[in-house]
Structure 1
Amino acid sequence: MGVISQLTGALTDQQVRLVDLTNKLSAATPTLELPEPFSNLIDFSLEEVSAYNEPGPFWKHHNIHTGEHIGTHIDAPVHWATGREGKDVSQIEPARLIGPAVVLDFTAQAEKDADFLVDVSHIQSWETEHGAIPDNAWVLFRTGWDRFAQDRDAFLNKDENGPHSPGFTVECARWLGEERAISGVGVETVGIDAGAAGDLDPAFPMHYYLLGNDKYGITSLQNLGELPPTGALLVVAPLPIEGGTGSPSRVFALMDAE
């Protein structure tokens, strides 16, 4: 029996569990809000074209209005200045969109400090316990932020000093971008950088180093708490938009059923 037949059989027999890691996409989905003078993307919306009526008597369909980086989405290298000569979202190889998932849990730290930053030492400690991060892996960071996914104010967590959400130190971003042969990084927050990452040097270091080194980011993930630290397989399915800097994406994990 071939590998695909084995996988199909395992899915049918529920020996493999499928976990949806995607936030629902609607006009209420929390989205990034950049301060003035920067411009923001539009929120997601549907425009009815017909609904079993005169414009379309037997069908219902809509036009979609959305920015590229809305909801659970992927960042392609061309999204950032350091990756401007890199791939757009349609050029990302399918083999880079499917790979082993490793999950690092920093929920306790993020609950104590909304501005918590993951450093290299945190990841090295995880590797000491679980083994080296495999090549082509998606490194997923759990912070418990997905519990705010339907609450815009809590999700963005802004005050007079700006937004507050967990992220990564500059050195950690550089290390992941340059020292590990990963496909990318996934987070539960609105972006792959911390809320206050604009104050770091370079600003928004995860974008700077990750996208500048042909690696990718996925954001607004859900249900990471259902995944083991190792052993799951991640599938990221963006729209192959020519020239696109990113795309809303459906993200799944496959794992052994308990």
Structure 2
Amino acid sequence: MPVLADLLSALRSSRVEVVDLTAPLSESTPVLQLPPPFANTTGFRLEEISRYDDRGPRWYWNDIHTGEHVGTHVDAPNHWLSGKDGPSVDQIPLRTLIGPAAVLDMSARVDDDPDFLLGIDDVRDWEREHGPLPEGGWLLYRTGWDARSGDQDSFLNVSDGASHTPGVSPECAQWLAEEAPIAGFGVETVGTDAGRAAELEPIFPCHDRLLGAGKCGLTQLRNLAQLPPTGALLVVSPLPIVGGSGSPARVYALVERA
């Protein structure tokens, strides 16, 4: 097909750049910590099966131990009570996992206030400058938080018993769920909601509203600074875990360069 041939040619000539938005997955990957009495996910761990030894002289392989929601990962609609009858991660339509990306940069605001909440007016200001959010695409919320992703304490930013990370206001979450044409919402933080989202009404509004509307979440992204506000094509590749509420994912963007 000419379109695919053109894409391959553009990739080989670097007219289209592939930007990796995925955080490396290792035992040091930051993991969300819920307070008691709630159960927490396990972190990522490799368990060696053999490594060119008497357990397997010519091969190296591992078992993987991890939670669905560790590292860069997808939240499927059934992850939350409001979306419990929605698709599991293996049922997310492929057309949802490939789509245009709108990148909204609020890093300067977050520098001044780590508890910053994105509002409807912030999104509308972006639209006035760049045009409407993409139909069936993804809104990616850049906060600069990926600079902290190498250290659990800095990434979760806990003080006075609360995590201080940016998120979305309840009103904006509802607007994104009910009025915005997007299929999903992505962030650089450990979850799509703010660190103090349990204090909001409803609690964890991004999870409640967006997943309840059948939309998807995408977390712990990095390198959003390398994307233009519009024009990038996002590719999200979770594992098709049957009945799963989410999955670690490889996420990248195709960006046309001059």
CA distance in 1, matches of 2:161, 2:127: 35
Q: What secondary structure is seen at the aligned counterpart in 2 of 1:175?
A: helix
User: What letter is aligned with 2:31?
Assistant: T
Shift of 1:161: 3.3
Structure 2 residue 191 is the aligned partner of structure 1 residue 215: no
- Asked whether 1:226 is paired with 2:226, we answer yes
- Output one character per residue of 1:139-179: Cα deviation in whole Å (capped at 9) or x when no partner: 00110000001011000000123100000000000000010
Q: Secondary structure at the residue paired with 2:60?
A: strand
TM-fit CA distance, 1:181: 1.9
Q: How high is the TM-score relative to the length of structure 1?
A: 0.99
- Corresponding position: 1:131 with 2:131: yes
| 1:254 corresponds to | 254
Aligned partners of 1:257, 1:55: CA distance in 2, in Å? 48
SS of equivalent residue, structure 2 residue 82 = helix
- Aligned partner of residue 26 in structure 1, secondary structure: coil
1:69 corresponding residue in structure 2: 69
SS for the counterpart of 1:177 is helix
Q: Secondary structure at the match of 2:104?
A: strand
How far did 1:134 drift?
A: 1.5
Does residue 1:35 correspond to 2:35, yes or no? Answer: yes
1:182-201 → structure 2 map (5 Å cutoff)? 182-201=182-201
Tell me, in whole angstroms, the C-alpha distance in 2 between the residues paired with 1:110 and 1:156.
14
Partner of 2:160: 160
Letter in 1 for 2:19: V
Report the counterpart of residue 15 of structure 1 in structure 2: 15
Aligned counterpart, 1:241: 241
Q: 1:54 Cα shift?
A: 1.1
Q: What runs of 5+ residues in structure 1 fail to find an aligned partner?
A: none
| Superposition map of 1:91-170 within 5 A | 91-170=91-170
State how far apart, in whole Å, the 2-side matches of 1:192 and 1:253 are: 19
CA-to-aligned-CA distance 1:27-68 (integer Å, 9 cap, x gap): 000010000110100000000000001111100000000000
User: 1:83-107 deviations in whole A, cap 9, x for unaligned?
Assistant: 0000000000110000000000000
Structure 1 CA distance for aligned equivalents of residues 141 and 212 of structure 2: 20
1:25 aligns to what?
A: 25
**Once the 2 structures are TM-superposed, how far is the Cα of residue 257 of structure 1 from its aligned partner?**
1.8
Instruction: State the superposition RMSD in angstroms.
Output: 0.7
Give the secondary structure class of the aligned counterpart of 2:48. strand
1:203 maps to a residue whose letter is I
SS of the counterpart of 1:22?
Answer: coil
Amino acid at match of 1:163: S
Deviations 1:108-166 (A, max 9, x none): 10000000000000000110111111111110011000000101100000012310000
Is 1:2–2:14 an aligned residue pair? no
CA distance in 2, matches of 1:88, 1:148: 30
**1:173 match:** 173
| Alpha-carbon shift at residue 2 of structure 1 (Å) | 1.4
Letter in 2 for 1:47: E
Cα distance in 1 between the residues matched to 2:116 and 2:160:
18
Q: What is the distance in 2 between the residues matched to 1:130 and 1:144?
A: 20
SS of residue matched to 1:71: coil
**In 2, distance between residues paired with 1:108 and 1:22?**
22
Query: Which AA in structure 2 matches 1:206?
Result: C
Question: Residue 60 of structure 1 aligns with which residue?
Answer: 60
- After the TM superposition, which parts of structure 1 deviate over 6 Å for at least 4 consecutive aligned residues? none
Distance in structure 1 (CA, Å) of the matches to 2:193 and 2:99 = 22
Which residue of 2 is the match for residue 44 of structure 1? 44
Post-superposition offset of 1:254: 0.3
CA distance in 2, matches of 1:134, 1:144: 23
